[in-house]
Amino acid sequence: MEDLAIFGGPPLLEKTLHVGGPNLGDREALFARFNEMLDRNWVTNNGPLVKEFEQRISEFIDVRHCVAMCNGTVALEIACRALDLEGEVILPSFTFVATAHALQWQGIQPVFCDVEPNTHCIDPGEVERHITPRTTGIIGVNVWGQTCQVETLQEIADRNHLQLLFDSAHAFGASHNGRMVGAFGRCEVFSFHATKFLNSFEGGAVVTNDDELAEKMRLMRNFGFSGMDEVIYIGTNGKMTEVCAAMGLTNLDSFDDFLETNLTNYHGYRDAFRSFPGVRLLEYDDGESCNYQYIVTEVGPEFGLTRDQLMTILHAENIRARRYFWPGCHRMEPYKSFFPHANLLLPTTESIAEKVLLYPTGISLRVDDVTTIGRLMRFLSRNADAISSRLGSVEKNEPEDG
Ligand code: T4K
């Protein structure tokens, strides 16, 4: 026990492991793309690399259009605007705050809905409860790369004349009933942020089979310009740069390698977490494609340490486990001031936000890192009572991030 870093021992890992350490493809290929770009003297504004990236994403998903953007948040904002959302839009509170901000930023009221306990995705039954005459849309979030109950949500949307879109920031490479994520609802939004399975440094995209919607979003991401001097919509600057597209294309070439690494890590964690009580690993559906980018657990009382105690111990060992999306959007500003009693309608969100802890994965892990983490977890589980009482004095240190 003296060796635990929280009690003064050296950290178990020399190199800090993060949730979201970037998956990096082949450097030479990336630099070659940079050189071509510089030789061309064309660095942004719908350049050839962006067009190639869009083409490859559309083909991969089998959708008619991919509109690449500077990040996932702006992609969400543009999608919501292009769909003419207004009034109220229903979304889960258990999501990254960008999903809610993309609405609030343009004066649309986010209405937070509870999620399903097993998948952490929006609960369609709860969606129905929140529909009012002011509701114009539903945003399903494909949390952790799993998929929502797409068909049920679509049926609810159709019956109530609502737009349905998906925030699929986590779900590039995932499938639903054998069909790639990206092909559902009116449109779907990806993030290619550095922490995502496929990253373009910063980046995002909206994918859709709707020609008119795609055209509108292309105009909106470029200030609304329809020609050299003609502006026909209010627009913004949502363009992806050529540097970002070069990174996205290079990483797309390594898709299979990233997937294999993530899958191996996931199996390693699954075996490790089965060897002691109190930590439930969220298991992915083997029958679907999945990117395995998130190692998601729920820490229960049988483990003997609280989720936050465990996180503090892991951080000291240079394992930067994260408690996404604690404490839930409804408990963040401005939403907690707008809706101070939202928690009453969100019991599952409240419960899982206190239990969820994510572990590092991706190509920055060495082969034996997962085994080392598993061994540490077993030790913590066996000695939980003693550690917990000794932690009492150390515990005053608040966990550093959420
Ligand atoms: N919808 C959903 C459901 C989302 O999850 C997100 C983003 C969005 C929409 C919006 O998409 P973007 O506008 O971001 O494209 C991160 C990411 O910034 C964010 O993209 C992501 N979701 C969210 C879940 O996580 P943070 O603040 O928790 O972590 P961050 O960016 O500091 O990175 C996490 C750790 O990864 C760092 O502590 C260290 C490591 N890291 C990070 C970067 C950027 C590296 O090792 N190298 C790096 O270059 O938000």
pLDDT value for 258? 98
- For the whole model, what pTM was predicted? 0.96
Strand partners for 340? none
**98 ligand 1 Cβ < 6 A:** yes
Instruction: Please give the structure tokens belonging to residue 175.
Output: 């499938």
pLDDT for the residue numbered 165: 98
Of all protein residues, the one whose alpha carbon is nearest to atom 41 of ligand 1 is 21
Kindly list the structural domains of the chain, giving each domain's residue range(s) and its CATH number in brackets, ordered by start.
27-253 (3.40.640.10), 255-397 (3.90.1150.10)
| Nearest C-alpha neighbor of 157 from the set 179, 128, 126 | 128
Which residue CA neighbors atom 44 of ligand 1 most closely?
A: 194
> Which residue is closest in CA terms to ligand 1's atom 15?
72
Buried-exposed string 275-289: b where 16+ CB fall within 10 A, e elsewhere: ebebbbbbebeeebb
Regarding the beta carbon of 185 and ligand 1, being less than 6 Å apart is answered: no
16 lines ligand 1 (CB under 6 A): no
Ligand 1 site, residue 343, Cβ cutoff 6 A: no
In 3D space, the residue among 238, 249, 250, 240 whose CA is nearest the CA of residue 44 turns out to be 240
Residue 208: closest CA among 168, 256, 235, 267: 168
CA of 202 to the centre of ligand 1 (A): 10
pLDDT at 393: 63
Atom of ligand 1 nearest to the CA of 95: 3
Tens digit of each residue's pLDDT, the chain (402 residues):
889 999 999 999 999 999 999 999 999 999 999 999 999 999 999 999 999 999 999 999 999 999 999 999 999 999 999 999 999 999 999 999 999 999 999 999 999 999 999 999 999 999 999 999 999 999 999 999 999 999 999 999 999 999 999 999 999 999 999 999 999 999 999 999 999 999 999 999 999 999 999 999 999 999 999 988 999 989 999 999 999 999 999 999 999 999 999 999 999 999 999 999 999 999 999 999 999 999 999 999 999 999 999 999 999 999 999 999 999 999 999 999 999 999 999 999 999 999 999 999 999 998 899 999 999 999 999 999 999 999 886 554 555 554
pLDDT of residue 400: 52
Of 377, 180, 152, which is closest to residue 269 (Cα–Cα)?
Answer: 377
Distances (CA, A) of 48 to 79, 202, 296, 315: 23, 18, 38, 43
- Determine if the peptide bond prior to 11 is cis (ω within 30°): no
106: tokens are 């343009």
Is the distance from the beta carbon of residue 261 to the nearest atom of ligand 1 less than 6 Å?
no
- Give Cα 188 to chain centroid, integer Å: 13
Residue nearest to atom 24 of ligand 1 (CA): 96
CB-ligand 1 contact for 21 (6 Å cutoff): yes
